[in-house]
Amino acid sequence: PMLLTLVAVLSYLLGSVPFGVVITRAMGLGDLRQIGSGNIGATNVLRTGNKAAAAATLILDAAKGGVAVLLARALLGEDAAQMAALTSFLGHLYPVWLRFRGGKGVATFFGTLLALAWPVGLAACATWLVVAALLRISSVAGLAAAGSSTGWMLLFGRSEMFFLGVVLTALIYWKHRENMVRIKAGTEPRIGSKR
Ligand code: G3P
């Protein structure tokens, strides 16, 4: 239990590293919280116009969730891996460094899913890509990927992940509530538009 607590705390701290904020600041691209949606994720980093910064944010925000899961699994096994998925994800959503005002979780969600069960992770990423290609709206793609993820878990015979999937999906929807208002109003910006 000591080690489990340590892994949970470490995963939270890893998840709470706001790579979007760090990268945009380091590259002199301005204050991400004053740009676009004000979110700290890759979609909003893209609104600075810098694709490399956005790609790096996407990869690192996903990687921190994946690394937390793989570390926990190596040290303590599969239950701990699920716990690390949850705590690293919570770190991204509610980082202590940003007074708990964190991101919306889509990239970190993908990283944890890929590490927990790569077919589920790939299917969720593919869902994002298909919806993004069709509609060109990142939030809609993220909501579709999250919403479909529990379905992918069942399809790939990973029902032990189902409860975790429901919790992560619910948190992603909660964090996208402003996006959902804009989606309904038809004012949600397309990917890459500077708004
Ligand atoms: O992953 C976040 C994305 O779904 C929405 O980001 O900046 O458009 O609110 P944003």
Residue range 17-57, pLDDT digits in tens: 999 999 999 999 999 999 999 999 999 999 999 999 999 99
Ligand 1 contact via 37 beta carbon (within 6 Å)? yes
User: pTM of this prediction?
Assistant: 0.96
Closest CA to 105 of 128, 88, 84: 88
What whole-number percentage of the chain has pLDDT above 70?
99
pLDDT tens across 135-178, in order?
A: 999 999 999 999 999 999 999 999 999 999 999 999 999 999 99
ipTM: 0.95
Considering only CA atoms, which residue is closest to atom 3 of ligand 1?
Answer: 139
- Give me ligand 1 centre to Cα 144, in Å: 13
Closest CA to 160 of 104, 82, 72, 58: 82
What are phi and psi for residue 12, nearest 5 degrees? -60, -45
pLDDT tens across 72-120, in order?
A: 999 999 999 999 999 999 999 999 999 999 999 999 999 999 999 999 9
Asked if 72 and 4 count as a contact pair (C-beta separation under 8 A), the reply is no
Q: Name the DSSP letter for residue 28.
A: T
- Give me ligand 1 centre to Cα 117, in Å: 24
